[in-house]
Structure formats: C-alpha cells, structure tokens
Structure 1
Amino acid sequence: MPRLASRISRISPFYAMEVVKQAAQLQAAGRDIIHMSIGEPDFTAIPAVVDALDAAARSGRSQYTEALGIPALREAIAGFYATRFCAQVDPSRVIVTAGASGALMLACAALIEPGQEVLMPDPTYPANRHIVTAAGGTPRLIPSGPADRFQLSADHVRQHWTPSTAGVIVASPSNPTGTSVAPDVLAEIAAEVRARDGFTLVDEIYLGLSYDGDRRSAAVLGDDVILVNSFSKYFHMTGWRLGWLVVPPDLVPAFEKLAQNVVICPSALSQHAALACFTPESLDIFETRRGAFQQRRDFLLPAFERLGLSVPVRPDGAFYIYSDVSAHASDSFDFATRLLNEAGVCAVPGLDFGDADAHRYLRFSYATELSRLEEAMARIGDFLGKA
C-alpha cells in the first residue's frame, strides 16, 4: 500500500460522527431519536433558489465559470455587505468558493508556510484546525474559557505569538459555542496581528444568524482582514457547496492563480441559483427563518437552566448551546452516549472541539423544529430525574 503523508496522523477522528452513527443504528432499530447534534439547518433552499437552479440548468448555464466566480454573484455578495452589515466591500475582493471549507483551504494554502503556527481558540470547529494541518501548518489552540466568551483576545495574541506564528483564525459567531467576538475585541486582535505582519482570518458563516444587537462584519476593520462566509447556514444551502472569501486587494491575483489551478471554479449551477438569494422577497424569508432560530434559542436557554444544565456564556448567534454537564457526569462523551441510548436525544461531546475542559461540555444544536426541542427537554428532564 502507498505510504500516507504524516499529516494524516495529526488529523483527529470526528467524534460527533461516531455519536451520529450510533443514533442512526438506533433509528434503524425503530427508536425515535431527536437530533441536537449536526450543525445543519432543518430549513432547505427557498423556492426561488430552486427555480433559479432549474432555469440555469435548462438554459445550459452549467459550463465552467471564472475561477473567482461569476461577476453578478460577486457583486450581489458585495451589495449584501452594504445593505445588511453596513460594510463597504469592493466586488473585486470577493472570491466565490466551493463552500466555506473550500474558502478556508484556499486561504491556508495561500498564506501558511509549512510548519507555521496559526492561533485559534480552544474550543473551535475541528475542520478549521484540520484544514490548517492539511495545508502544512500547525494549529495552536489557546484555551479560551467562559471569561473570554470561549474566544481569542488581544492578550492571547500578545502572549502566544512567536516567530513561527503566521496569523489567527477566529469564528464569530462560533461553532460550537454560538458566541461572538465583541467588535472592540476583534478590532484589538486585528491590530495586534497587523503589528506583527500576520493575517487575521474571520470565519463569519453564522454572522447572518445573529440575534442580539447589531450584526457587524469584520469587513469594517480594514481591507487586510480576510473573511470566510457561506451559503450553507443563513441561506440554508448546505449541500450546494458554495461559499466565498473577501481578501485584501493585493492578494486577489495570487488567490485567483491558486483557484484556477486547484479548483478551476465553484459549481456553475449553484452560483447562478444563489443569485436568487439576494432579492428583497428572498431576504424576507431568510429573516423570518432567523427569527425561528432565535425563538428556539429563547425557549431552550431557560429550559436548560431549569434542568440544571449550565450554559456559562449566553449564545448570541448560530444555532448551538455549549453546556457544561460536569454537574451530572465527569466525561461528556459518556454522558452523550447515555443521553442518546437512554433518552433518545443526540448531542455532541466537547472532545471534537479541543482539549481545554472538553470533558465538561456538550454542544446542543437547535437546528430542528420547536416541537421536537420541547420533546427533547422533556426527555432530558426524565433522564436527569428532574421532570
């Protein structure tokens, strides 16, 4: 057999998938399982997008596009920043990608030399750190607890930056915690990184699903901040594999060269269909759905409190609650397994998201309808003996 690259050994298994696999086996055996596990909206693409896909396919618009994406979509994305986030982004800085993962892969390939470190909070979304590893870099996870809103701070950058550090990656709002980096803190982080000639990359795939206060993009921090976003979460197009980058103007040619050679182009049909996301009528639907997610969060937080499931930091975005279950178990993976088998509720142990206190936490996703979440809380109450 061919010898695998050593980087493969540095990429951890996705433990959430093991729990989901167990859930699938239970369902196949006839058990009713409530999924509060995978981060995929229960909403799907809106009718206007599906109609646009059909029209594009029937008219033969399925051939290669420009490597950076079709101009109309790049302009629509730039306009979205202006109207929704009060941020001015030149369309020439927008690069359409094969999902947010594709965006992050392009960015890491362009920015990280082999062996360089990238600072990230612990906990963090596992794919983000593994993409850094796949690009030859070394993710350096910085323990970031409730006092930090589970996020990096400027102090973290000052304390942990070394000559081997290339930059930082933060997600706001975050998976798994649903917490955002406060705008002033994010500005301080960017300033510290800028002073060290590094890169600041902000994963904003859940920015559209923010609930408390203004939704503010890191685009306002300057043209040197790199943004990653996606059509998967706010626009509910997970399987369409479409995302985008916003990069500094001087880096666009390098990113284009890389995209031309590595990706060729994102899905042409998905791009043409995604144009339908930006009409006023479509945006009204997405905002209504955002309200549904907020309603679910606002139901769950007091329910968790009543059940004695601690939520150290109130989530202000995405569709996750990061709960400290240490009052009920010493190992969150064991707790998740018992919760699944005894209560029929599937949640994700903190083991996937880092090393710092991972045994204490479970991530609960509320990307499922409210009636099922109500049933889940009743089941958990019975499980904990507090119904």
Structure 2
Amino acid sequence: MMENNLASRLLNIAPFHVMELAKMAADLERQGRHIIHMGIGEPDFTAPKVVIDAAVQAMNDGKLQYTSALGIPALREAIAQYYLDSFNVNIPASRIVVTAGASAALLLACAALVEPGAEIIMPDPCYPCNRHFVAAFEGKAKLVSCGPDQRFQLTADLLEQHWSEHCKGVLLASPSNPTGTSIAAGELGKIIAAVKARHGFTIVDEIYLGLSYDAPAFSALSLDDDVIVINSFSKYFNMTGWRLGWLVVPERIIPQLEKLAQNLFICPSSVAQYAALACFSAEALSIYEERKAEFLRRRDYIVPALRDLGFDVPVTPDGAFYVYADCSRFSDDADKFSKEVLMQAGVAIVPGLDFGPSTAQHYVRISYATSMENLREAVRRLKDFLASDYPGTVIRK
C-alpha cells in the first residue's frame, strides 16, 4: 500500500485547522448561508490597478520565461530602496533573494540552517506553518509559552531560560500572527545578542511589518547584519495569490541559497516579479498607506466591540489584522466554540488550536481584514448568539 511508504516526518506535520474551518464555511455558503469571514488572514483589498496593469504589460511584452533564481535585478534593487526609504536601513540588493512567497523564503532559510534534531525556539502562540517548516527538515520546534504579560512574544529572559545544548536558533514574527503584537526594538536587540552569543541564528518573519500602527515600524535588519529577515508581497502589498516574497540574508550565504533556490523552485513567477515593481511606485504606495489607515480604523472598532461583548482582549494588537481574544468566559473549548459561532451565527473565526498548546483551549483569533460593514454585522450576530445561547456561562464539552 502506498501509505505504508510515506515518510515518517509527516507525523510531525499537524493539520491546519484554519483551513478546515474555511472549508466548513465554504460548505455553508454552498447551502445558501451568508458567512462573514474573519478567519483566514487575507486582506480584502487586492492588488491596485497600477500593479495589475504592470502584470498585463509584462505578459504583452513576453516577459514570461525563467528569471534568475534570486529574482530579477530590478526588483531586488527596488526592495533594497524600499528598506532605505521606509525603515532607514541600507541593504545592498545583492543580499536580497526574491522567492515564491514568504513560505518559500522560510523553506529556503530552514533548508539552509536547520539540522536534523536541532531545536529552534519559537514563542507559543505562533504561526503553525513556521513550526512545520522546521519539522520538514527534521528539526524540532521548541515552543516557549509567552502570555499576555510578554505580549505573547519571546523575551531575552525566556530565551536564556529555555536555551539548551540542542538549540540552534530562534524563529520569531513581529508583528505576529496570530496575536498582532510586535517585539520592541530593545527587547529584540537583546534576543538577537543572546542568540549570537550562543552561536545560533535568528530568523524574523516581518511579513506584517508594513501594517504597524502604534509606533514607527523598524526592521530587525537595523539591529544586526546577521539577522535573516522574511517578508512578502501578500499582506501590506495585497498580493496574496501572486505568491511572491523575499528574504534578506548575510552576503556570505547567498551562494548556498541560490543553489537551493535553483534546485527547489527554479525561480519565482516572472509575471508576479514584473508586476511587483509597480508596488513601489508613488501611486501604489499612496494606496497602500490609505489601506493601512483603514485597517487601523477597523482595529479601533473591533477591539473595544469584542471587549464589550465579553471577550477578554488582554493585549491590544499593534500590527497585522488580528485580535487574539480569550473566550473562556463563554467556553472551555475554543475549538467547539468557534464551530458553534460559525454554524449558528454565520461568523468564521478560528480557535487557538493551531497556534500552540498554551492558548489552544481558551483563545480565538479574529481577523479584521474585512469591511467595516461586515465587522458591524459580525458584532451584531455575535451579540445575539451570546445573549441567546451563552449568557456568561461556561459551555461544557
């Protein structure tokens, strides 16, 4: 039987419950139900017209063949200029690798750095796929519980408490999925220094960096040249389905990453790369900043609204488009609660189950990457649902 030949590493890859709930929501929609989607982390905005026009022009010009595995030079230069203009970090284009989405960037980084059996420290909660990239190369995600007192983020003190002889590095995200929280520059600098003193590596996922609200955004690259940074055109640039991202690495490992990229991917999409050049035009950047302001407006509506409904939001998110909310007033089983909210209220949210054991039972992730009209309707539905079925009591399993 074919299943008997499957690699044992698959046992270390858990199902992605976010996508399972998305399938449930799609089934309900096919039955005629109206569902408000606050589950999957995807902007409701799509690429601006100037970007779409650039893609059409690239196709009309026949720019449809393989590119360099590292990305077209013009796009690498544009990304370098973006770091200088937006974050005051001077990064040579030669350190930038354009990839088939941030997922490919993380895959390349883990392929280059993760040895079998190596432990990579991550905060709990964290984005589940990051753990699975490590597992794919037979490393082990070492989850460190990080609660509201730490803004759900790793600290230097926690790192030093949990580092062992088997640890080889850390994988962080700032701002984070699922919590929307960032690591302060001083704290991140201490983490990087502590890892470096132990001869480890630091990878920082910055795909939500452009969606930072309460303080000027900074890149980890401003703190140390040896940090490996991941970014993407999916979130701030609203190009989720285009599958385009990048990573910035020390110059010395570029040849090794190029070798890996050539073998694993050949190259990123040529059309997506030429289109992405238009992302850095003044017209596109103005649109992205308007959309960022809209995300902030939504956050400032949904966080107090959820608190008024009885959810505990212990940390106000300062980035991305997620609220990580404690639902234990209503249920001791966040997974069951999320499914009942979907089935009865027609609002798709996701449980903490995906994001790590420390918050699995009591937290839900709620995305505000949808219109204000939808957010208001979702709050109305949740209010009715909670008032009629769960008047402040715990739902028993």
Per the shorter chain, which TM-score range?
Answer: over 0.9
Match of 1:134 among 133, 136, 139: 136
Q: Is the 8 A contact 1:125 1:176 kept in 2?
A: yes
Task: Give 2:74's aligned residue.
Answer: 72
After alignment, is 102-111 or 18-27 more displaced?
A: 18-27
Task: Give 1:182's aligned residue.
Answer: 184
After alignment, is 282-291 or 261-270 more displaced?
A: 261-270
| Unaligned stretches of 5+ residues in structure 1 | none
**Could you tell me the TM-score, scaled by structure 1's length?**
0.98
Q: Is the 8 A contact 1:226 1:248 kept in 2?
A: yes
- CA deviation digits over 1:247-278, x for unaligned, max 9? 01111111111111221111111101100000
Partner Cα distance (2:340, 2:264) in 1: 44
Partner Cα distance (2:265, 2:31) in 1: 41
Using the TM superposition, give the Cα deviation of residue 11 of structure 1 relative to its aligned residue in structure 2, in angstroms. Answer: 0.6
Aligned AA (1:257)? K
Aligned AA (1:197)? H
Match of 2:326 among 324, 327, 332: 324
Partner Cα distance (1:190, 1:168) in 2: 9
- CA deviation digits over 1:171-218, x for unaligned, max 9? 000000000011111000000001011100000000001110111111
Aligned AA (2:265)? V
Aligned AA (1:356)? S
Using the TM superposition, give the Cα deviation of residue 329 of structure 1 relative to its aligned residue in structure 2, in angstroms. Answer: 0.5
SS at match of 1:96: strand
Matched, 1:266 2:277: no
Task: Give 1:307's aligned residue.
Answer: 309
Q: Is the 8 A contact 1:340 1:346 kept in 2?
A: yes
Aligned AA (2:99)? T
Match of 1:230 among 232, 239, 248: 232
Task: Give 2:21's aligned residue.
Answer: 19
Aligned AA (1:328)? F
Q: Using the aligned pairs only, state the percent identity.
A: 58
Q: Aligned runs of 1:84-233 on 2, under 5 Å?
A: 84-233=86-235
Partner Cα distance (1:111, 1:26) in 2: 43
After alignment, is 314-323 or 337-346 more displaced?
A: 337-346
Partner Cα distance (1:262, 1:23) in 2: 34
Partner Cα distance (2:114, 2:159) in 1: 17
Task: Give 1:29's aligned residue.
Answer: 31
Partner Cα distance (1:156, 1:247) in 2: 26
Using the TM superposition, give the Cα deviation of residue 340 of structure 1 relative to its aligned residue in structure 2, in angstroms. Answer: 0.8
SS at match of 1:81: helix
SS at match of 1:314: coil
Aligned AA (2:288)? F
Using the TM superposition, give the Cα deviation of residue 18 of structure 1 relative to its aligned residue in structure 2, in angstroms. Answer: 2.0
Partner Cα distance (2:359, 2:65) in 1: 48
Aligned AA (1:28)? R
Q: Is the 8 A contact 1:333 1:351 kept in 2?
A: yes
Task: Give 1:42's aligned residue.
Answer: 44
**Could you tell me the TM-score, scaled by structure 2's length?**
0.96
Aligned AA (1:230)? S
Match of 2:283 among 273, 281, 284: 281
SS at match of 1:184: helix
Using the TM superposition, give the Cα deviation of residue 335 of structure 1 relative to its aligned residue in structure 2, in angstroms. Answer: 0.6
- CA deviation digits over 1:121-148, x for unaligned, max 9? 0000011110110122111111111011
* Matched pairs, number: 387
Deviation beyond 4 Å, 4+ runs, structure 1? none
Aligned AA (2:324)? Y
Q: Aligned runs of 1:371-382 on 2, under 5 Å?
A: 371-382=373-384
SS at match of 1:207: coil
Task: Give 1:297's aligned residue.
Answer: 299
SS at match of 2:210: helix
Task: Give 1:358's aligned residue.
Answer: 360
Q: Is the 8 A contact 1:97 1:103 kept in 2?
A: yes
Task: Give 1:253's aligned residue.
Answer: 255
Q: Is the 8 A contact 1:223 1:249 kept in 2?
A: no
Partner Cα distance (2:283, 2:339) in 1: 43
Partner Cα distance (1:11, 1:293) in 2: 32
Partner Cα distance (2:229, 2:24) in 1: 36
Using the TM superposition, give the Cα deviation of residue 86 of structure 1 relative to its aligned residue in structure 2, in angstroms. Answer: 1.3
Using the TM superposition, give the Cα deviation of residue 357 of structure 1 relative to its aligned residue in structure 2, in angstroms. Answer: 2.7
Match of 2:386 among 380, 384, 387: 384
Partner Cα distance (1:190, 1:335) in 2: 38
Partner Cα distance (2:74, 2:22) in 1: 39
Aligned AA (2:129)? A
Task: Give 1:83's aligned residue.
Answer: 85
SS at match of 1:208: coil
Task: Give 1:337's aligned residue.
Answer: 339
After alignment, is 347-356 or 255-264 more displaced?
A: 255-264
Q: Is the 8 A contact 1:88 1:219 kept in 2?
A: no
Partner Cα distance (1:362, 1:310) in 2: 10
Q: Is the 8 A contact 1:123 1:176 kept in 2?
A: yes
Task: Give 1:51's aligned residue.
Answer: 53
Partner Cα distance (1:367, 1:120) in 2: 25
- CA deviation digits over 1:30-66, x for unaligned, max 9? 1111110000110001111111111111111111111
Partner Cα distance (1:66, 1:25) in 2: 41
